[in-house]
């Protein structure tokens, strides 16, 4: 396998959730770009959906990092008392409207599939047509931190609840599938799960991990930067570190795979 053989093939990219750890996806995109490999189709969830959306919209590596650095995560005046969640997810909509060129899936440069969880029906939903921002916001609305998003009268939340590694839409549609799994975790001590919030975050991570394990063998190439376990899911200080870890690990794996 070499990068020249991938030029005329359909390359699919599956991007997991992982919060700030998902910046490793941008590192992978940079490593692919350096080798002249440009995925045609992206299936993403949560942070992976946001990265995939920006990529499909034509954003550069630098612009993607700027988006995540400038978009507030836990902003005090986004706190809500009227919705089920600590922060009102709808308050993030203006950041998407300002940053994205496309407002609908059909306007993107590449095929994008976004996974969100229908809380009312208890099932994953795969969006790839129609309005773009609702599914993107919903896919990343990790409970109980962010409130669910209403789409067509249904409430949607983080797609990772049901499918944190949405490779299914790419199977049979792509010649090559490359995956990046950023929800890596490490064993923690008893003192690291002291508060209700910490317990909730740990439970969420275990849930995301459990619904992905049986599918990580499907991609032709899988990127799993283990060091991401040291980065907190919602700690924006980890953005650059996660990006570099993803880039370095992807370079190593791509060199091994292509040669």
Provide the pLDDT confidence category of residue 75 given band limits of 50, 70 and 90. low
> Average pLDDT in the 4-11 region?
75
Which listed residue (158, 183, 184, 212) is catalytic?
A: 158
* Per-residue pLDDT at 153: 95
Q: Which of 31-45, 76-90, 106-120, 180-194 has the lowest mean pLDDT?
A: 180-194
**Average pLDDT value over all residues in the chain:** 88
Model confidence at 69: pLDDT above 70: yes
* Per-residue pLDDT at 201: 61
* Per-residue pLDDT at 164: 93
* Per-residue pLDDT at 78: 63
CATH number, domain containing residue 58: 3.40.1090.10
Whether residue 5 is contained in a domain is answered as no
Domain that holds residue 119: 10-258
> Average pLDDT in the 76-86 region?
67
Whether residue 53 is contained in a domain is answered as yes
Whether residue 174 is contained in a domain is answered as yes
| Angle, in degrees to the nearest 10, between helices 23-34 and 47-56 | 40
> Average pLDDT in the 52-67 region?
97
Residue 98 is a catalytic residue = no
As a three-state string, the secondary structure of the chain is CCHHHHCCCCEEEEECCCHHHHHHHHHHHHHHHHCCCCCCEEEEECHHHHHHHHHHCCCCHHHHHHHHHHCCCCCHHHECCCCCCCECHHHHHHHHHHHCCCCEHHHCCCEEEEEEEECCCCEEEEECCCECHHHHHHHCCCCCCECCEEECCEEEEEHHHCCCCCCHHHCCCCCEEEEECCCCCCCCCHHHCCCHHHHHHHHHHHHHHHCCHHHCCCCCEEECCHHHHHCCCCCHHHHHHHHHHHHHHHHHHHHHHHC
* Per-residue pLDDT at 6: 64
What is the percent of the chain with per-residue pLDDT over 90, rounded to a whole number?
65
Provide the pLDDT confidence category of residue 14 given band limits of 50, 70 and 90. very high
Model confidence at 53: pLDDT above 50: yes
Whether residue 4 is contained in a domain is answered as no
Provide the pLDDT confidence category of residue 16 given band limits of 50, 70 and 90. very high
Which listed residue (46, 139, 147, 183) is catalytic?
A: 46
Whether residue 3 is contained in a domain is answered as no
Provide the pLDDT confidence category of residue 128 given band limits of 50, 70 and 90. very high
Model confidence at 207: pLDDT above 50: yes
The total number of structural domains in the chain stands at 1
Whether residue 50 is contained in a domain is answered as yes
Whether residue 96 is contained in a domain is answered as yes
Whether residue 59 is contained in a domain is answered as yes
Residue 46 is a catalytic residue = yes
Provide the pLDDT confidence category of residue 212 given band limits of 50, 70 and 90. confident
Model confidence at 188: pLDDT above 50: no
């Amino acid at each position: 396998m070499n990068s020249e053989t991938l030029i005329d093939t359909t390359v699919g990219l599956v991007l997991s959730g992982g919060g700030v750890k998902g910046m490793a996806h941008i590192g992978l995109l940079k490593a692919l770009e350096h080798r002249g490999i440009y995925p045609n189709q992206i299936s993403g969830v949560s942070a992976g959906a946001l990265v995939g959306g920006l990529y499909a919209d034509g954003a550069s590596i630098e612009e993607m990092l700027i988006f995540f650095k400038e978009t507030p995560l836990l902003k005090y005046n986004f706190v809500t008392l009227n919705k089920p969640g600590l922060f009102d997810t709808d308050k993030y909509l203006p950041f998407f409207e300002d940053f994205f060129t496309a407002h609908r899936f059909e306007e993107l440069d590449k095929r994008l599939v976004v996974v969100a969880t229908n809380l009312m029906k208890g099932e994953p939903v795969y969006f790839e047509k129609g309005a773009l921002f609702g599914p993107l916001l919903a896919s990343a609305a990790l409970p109980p931190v962010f409130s669910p998003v209403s789409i067509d009268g249904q409430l949607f939340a983080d797609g990772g609840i049901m499918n944190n590694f949405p490779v299914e839409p790419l199977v049979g549609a792509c010649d090559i599938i490359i995956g990046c799994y950023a929800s890596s975790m490490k064993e923690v001590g008893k003192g690291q799960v002291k508060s209700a919030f910490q317990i909730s975050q740990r439970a969420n991570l275990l849930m995301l991990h459990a619904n992905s394990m049986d599918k990580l063998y499907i991609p032709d190439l899988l990127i799993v930067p283990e060091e991401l376990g040291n980065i907190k899911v919602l700690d924006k200080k980890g953005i650059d570190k996660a990006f570099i870890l993803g880039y370095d690990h992807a370079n190593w794996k791509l060199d091994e795979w292509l040669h």
